[in-house]
């Protein structure tokens, strides 16, 4: 089992991480346990959790409907209501058992209920293991804007057990792997070289890859929890990727976060090249690897118009300056403000 130290808590990784969970539960005397899950993690993950952590058999189970469209204040009302109706107090613990939707929403609910109660994350998707559960960003979508309402509130611990990935689809594994690619590109060239050798989906989610990706994200978050500077590097691929995700969701198209981010990284690498942040060879290397894994996304004229609107309103911009977190050579990054709209349009049309 690997243990990674975050700001104020530990991240335990491996099939033995549940031994650490049992120790955590025994040591901290909580008055009530609440397990937050959706219908899929209820079916596929909860039985394993209850078997391996028997203390949790006395937990209240709060089952939510799955899906990004349920990451809303209405669902929070449902959870706050269930906590209130069952007598949750300041010494209650919320256990987020699920993907990024559950950890974002559960973390937000925990950080606001009675001005904050403890929560832990037990991520069950690759995306939530390597990214969403780590770093203390919580929140929900509001009026169609992703993560518009939220807090920065770190969990008390994270327990990453890769056994849960056995029931996850190949598409969902690739979804999470996009964030693994991103962290390598901005933070560690050797990790990138290692990734380029991986071709099978089972290799994308090995314990070794998960551990390295978490360690890299955690080292960035530890230096800049509130995203004043360094943490902005994690936004590589996300200006265009988030905009693309929002535009396609608005059109009711089937798109996953990581798929949009993969396309976003291709387009933002195209922006980084004329700005001399990466060479043509590096751009080709990035593009070829991403294209070997992810299907091309069709960008219609309508999508392009919406995409540009979302990019212009991105909260990562500073005043009128369009700010992008771009690689500065593979394995490093630079926050580049003042990216011209023409360059963005060109990157979209060349995609
Ligand atoms: N807070 C952060 O720093 C951060 C970072 C990245 C992404 N996010 C957020 O994370 C969310 C996306 O996370 P996600 O991709 O995990 O989505 P998700 O939580 O919707 O999970 C994806 C699907 O997989 C199912 N599922 C979960 N675990 C399973 C398992 N073990 N077996 C079978 N099915 C399982 C879920 O029920 C859901 O249908 C987005 O809302 C995004 O904004 C947050």
- 176-350 has the same fold as 2-167: no
pLDDT of residue 336: 87
Which residue has better confidence, 318 or 285?
A: 285
pLDDT of residue 315: 66
Quick one: which atom of ligand 1 is closest to the CA of 104?
1
**48 close to ligand 1 (CB < 6 Angstrom):** no
Distance from the alpha carbon of residue 350 to the mean position of ligand 1, in angstroms = 30
Share of the chain above pLDDT 90, in %: 91
Where residue 162 falls among pLDDT bands split at 50, 70, 90? Answer: very high
Average pLDDT of the residues in 104-129: 98
Flag whether pLDDT at 34 surpasses 80.
yes
Q: Which sequence spans correspond to the domains of the chain?
A: 2-167, 176-350
Average pLDDT of the residues in 133-150: 92
Distance from the alpha carbon of residue 346 to the mean position of ligand 1, in angstroms = 32
**101 close to ligand 1 (CB < 6 Angstrom):** yes
Q: 61-104 pLDDT, tens per residue? A: 999 999 999 999 999 999 999 999 999 999 999 999 999 999 99
Contact (Cβ atoms closer than 8 angstroms) between residue 138 and residue 152: yes
Contact (Cβ atoms closer than 8 angstroms) between residue 151 and residue 111: yes
Distance from the alpha carbon of residue 99 to the mean position of ligand 1, in angstroms = 3
**141 close to ligand 1 (CB < 6 Angstrom):** no
To test the pocket of ligand 1, the residue of 40, 233, 256 to mutate (highest count of ligand atoms within 8 Å of its CB) is 40
pLDDT of residue 350: 94
pLDDT of residue 199: 85
Q: Whose CA is nearest to atom 19 of ligand 1?
A: 99
**40 close to ligand 1 (CB < 6 Angstrom):** yes
Please state the pTM of the whole predicted model: 0.96
Where residue 250 falls among pLDDT bands split at 50, 70, 90? Answer: confident
Flag whether pLDDT at 143 surpasses 90.
no
pLDDT of residue 313: 80
Flag whether pLDDT at 319 surpasses 80.
no
**64 close to ligand 1 (CB < 6 Angstrom):** no
Flag whether pLDDT at 318 surpasses 80.
no
CATH of region 2-167: 3.40.50.1970
CATH superfamily of 176-350: Dehydroquinate synthase-like - alpha domain (1.20.1090.10)
Which residue has better confidence, 318 or 31?
A: 31
Average pLDDT of the residues in 280-299: 97
pLDDT of residue 153: 98
Lowest-confidence segment of 21-35, 135-149, 196-210 by average pLDDT? 135-149
pLDDT of residue 249: 87
Distance from the alpha carbon of residue 7 to the mean position of ligand 1, in angstroms = 23
Rounded to an integer, what distance in angstroms lies between the CA atom of residue 121 and that of residue 67? 18
Flag whether pLDDT at 218 surpasses 90.
yes
Q: Whose CA is nearest to atom 6 of ligand 1?
A: 132
**121 close to ligand 1 (CB < 6 Angstrom):** no
Mean pLDDT across the chain: 95
């Amino acid at each position: 089992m690997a243990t990674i130290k975050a700001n104020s808590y530990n991240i335990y990784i491996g099939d033995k991480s549940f031994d650490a969970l049992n120790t955590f539960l025994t040591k901290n005397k909580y008055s009530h346990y609440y397990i937050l899950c959706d219908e899929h993690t209820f079916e596929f993950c909860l039985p394993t959790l209850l078997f391996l952590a028997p203390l949790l058999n006395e937990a209240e189970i709060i089952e939510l409907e799955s899906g990004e469209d349920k990451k809303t204040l209405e669902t929070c009302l449902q959870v706050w209501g269930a906590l209130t109706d069952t007598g949750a107090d300041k010494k209650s613990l919320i256990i987020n058992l699920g993907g990024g939707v559950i950890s974002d929403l559960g973390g937000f609910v925990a950080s606001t209920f009675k001005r904050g109660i403890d929560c832990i994350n037990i991520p069950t998707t690759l995306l939530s293991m390597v990214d969403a559960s780590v770093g203390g960003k919580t929140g929900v979508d509001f009026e169609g804007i992703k993560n518009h309402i939220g807090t920065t509130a770190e969990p008390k611990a994270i327990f990453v057990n890769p056994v849960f990935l056995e029931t996850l689809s190949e598409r969902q594994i690739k979804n999470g792997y996009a964030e693994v690619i991103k962290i390598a590109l901005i933070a560690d060239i050797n990790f990138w070289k290692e990734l380029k050798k991986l071709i099978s989906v089972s290799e994308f989610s090995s314990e070794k890859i998960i551990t390295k990706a978490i360690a890299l994200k955690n080292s960035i978050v530890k230096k800049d929890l509130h995203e004043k500077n360094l943490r902005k590097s994690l936004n590589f691929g996300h200006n265009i990727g988030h905009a693309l995700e929002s535009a396609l969701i608005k059109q009711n198209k089937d798109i996953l976060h990581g798929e949009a981010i993969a396309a976003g990284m291709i387009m933002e690498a195209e922006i980084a090249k004329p700005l001399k942040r990466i060479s043509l060879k590096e751009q080709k290397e990035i593009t070829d690897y991403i294209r070997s894994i992810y299907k091309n996304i069709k960008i219609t004229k309508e999508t392009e118009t919406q995409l540009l609107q979302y990019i212009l309103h991105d909260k990562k911009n500073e005043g009128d300056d369009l700010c992008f977190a771009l690689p500065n050579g593979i394995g490093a990054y630079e926050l580049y403000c003042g990216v011209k709209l023409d360059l963005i349009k060109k990157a979209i049309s060349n995609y």
